[in-house]
């Protein structure tokens, strides 16, 4: 599989650093996107969720203060609404997200990436 690998990350995140190390040590060519300085669009995040084949709610970081402030545990929101909130509040999004071609995966735990590297 020769598709470009893109890692959507927050550079200070330990799992993101682990992912970068794993890919670099494996000799993979990849691009990093810091979605705090280069924000994802709603369309891009929707595309990533579709490629991961998960409901948007599975991408939420439930331990973040903003998650509690917005009362998301009890909120009955659509995927579209949740994606809009994650774009507006990037702290809500699990990371890293690794995209390769028509697939994407949440790199948490880091070993998940092996599914994309075959």
Q: Give the structural domain span for 82.
A: 5-117
Catalytic position from the list 6, 13, 32, 79: 13
- 59 near 86, Cβ under 8 Å? yes
- 86 near 78, Cβ under 8 Å? no
Q: Structural domain tally of the chain?
A: 1
d(CA 114, CA 89): 29
Tens digit of each residue's pLDDT (9 = 90 or more) over 10-69: 999 999 999 999 999 999 999 999 999 999 999 999 999 999 999 999 999 999 999 999
Read off the CATH number of the domain in which 65 is found. Answer: 3.40.30.10
16 counts as catalytic? no
pTM to 2 decimals? 0.93
Tally the C-alpha atoms within 13 A of residue 108's C-alpha that lie toward its C-beta: 16
Tens digit of each residue's pLDDT (9 = 90 or more) over 77-87: 999 999 999 99
């Amino acid at each position: 599989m020769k598709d470009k690998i893109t890692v959507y990350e927050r550079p200070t995140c330990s799992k993101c650093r682990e992912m970068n190390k794993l890919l670099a040590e494996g000799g993979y060519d990849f691009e990093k996107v810091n979605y705090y300085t280069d924000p994802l669009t709603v369309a891009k995040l929707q595309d990533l969720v579709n490629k991961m084949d998960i409901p948007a709610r599975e991408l939420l970081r439930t331990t973040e203060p903003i998650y509690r402030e917005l009362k998301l545990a009890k909120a009955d929101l659509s995927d579209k609404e949740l994606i809009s909130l994650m774009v507006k509040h990037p702290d809500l999004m699990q990371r890293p997200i690794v995209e390769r071609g028509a697939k994407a995966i949440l790199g948490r735990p880091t070993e998940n990436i092996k599914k994309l590297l075959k």
